[in-house]
Amino acid sequence: MTFIEIKNLEKTYYDTSVATYVLRGIDFSIKKGEFVSIMGPSGSGKSTLLHILGFLDKQTVGTYSFDGKFINEYSDDDIAHVRNEKMGFIFQTFNLLPRMSALDNVKIPLLYSNIEDKFWNKMATEALESVGLGHRLNYDPAKLSGGERQRVAIARALVNKPSVIFADEPTGNLDSESGGQVMKIIMDLHKKGHTIILVTHESYTAEYADRVIRVNDGKISSDEKVTQKININKFKK
């Protein structure tokens, strides 16, 4: 089943009379349950593309269909609801609130949901346990390693049980061991049925996916299946 589909997508930024063309004629579709990497060098347009897919920005030209509905058919309230209920986001910089515990950071998406607050602690605890941090519930980010902070961010992305997880350079600030642990968690999420869209400039990270879409100068240069998957079993949570 086609979950995400974009056609002839373009993104242009205007500064007074100067136009900067970031994306040019992008076409692809993603099925529900796929794990897709969007790979390209810095400045290629891959992060802008992720922001459009995650309803954080809008295209200038072209169409974007998410879960059977075009983005221009969503109201602002619909967009906010979809982002909170159906999408989870993992960023390179973690984006954790420093004065809140791991548990409270993970509960943040629930503040904007329709879920009764009496369930929040249980849901956040389960999310942290799923990434191997059940023993770090009351730690604030300063007391956690970089890998642990990213796992808290993953738990936060998971707490609303989203349909799709967007990961923007999730291992960019981590050493190889911590990065491998994070990618193992993302692989496990994919095996549980989550659609994963990963943005990276690193080929060894991209190849955890089933498919790699390469972007250069705002255009797709290739869209290929990964034939040799990386062994993730050496990494522990």
Answer whether residue 235 shows pLDDT above 70. no
Per-residue model confidence (pLDDT) at position 92: 83
Question: How sure is the predictor about 114, in pLDDT bands with cuts at 50, 70 and 90?
Answer: confident
pLDDT tens track for 160-204: 999 999 999 888 888 888 888 889 989 999 999 999 999 998 888
Per-residue model confidence (pLDDT) at position 231: 59
Answer whether residue 232 shows pLDDT above 80. no
Question: How sure is the predictor about 229, in pLDDT bands with cuts at 50, 70 and 90?
Answer: low
Per-residue model confidence (pLDDT) at position 230: 61
Give the best-scoring range by mean pLDDT among 120-124, 186-190, 202-206, 230-234.
120-124
pLDDT tens track for 38-66: 999 988 999 999 999 999 999 999 999 99
pTM over cut 0.85: yes
Output the DSSP codes for the chain.
-EEEEEEEEEEEEEETTEEEEEEEEEEEEEETT-EEEEE--TTSSHHHHHHHHTTSS--SEEEEEETTEEGGGS-HHHHHHHHHHTEEEEETT----TTS-HHHHHHGGGGGSSS-GGGHHHHHHHHHHHTT-TT-TT--GGGS-HHHHHHHHHHHHHTT--SEEEEESTTTTS-HHHHHHHHHHHHHHHHTT-EEEEEES-HHHHTTSSEEEEEETTEEEEEEE-SS----TT---
Per-residue model confidence (pLDDT) at position 233: 58
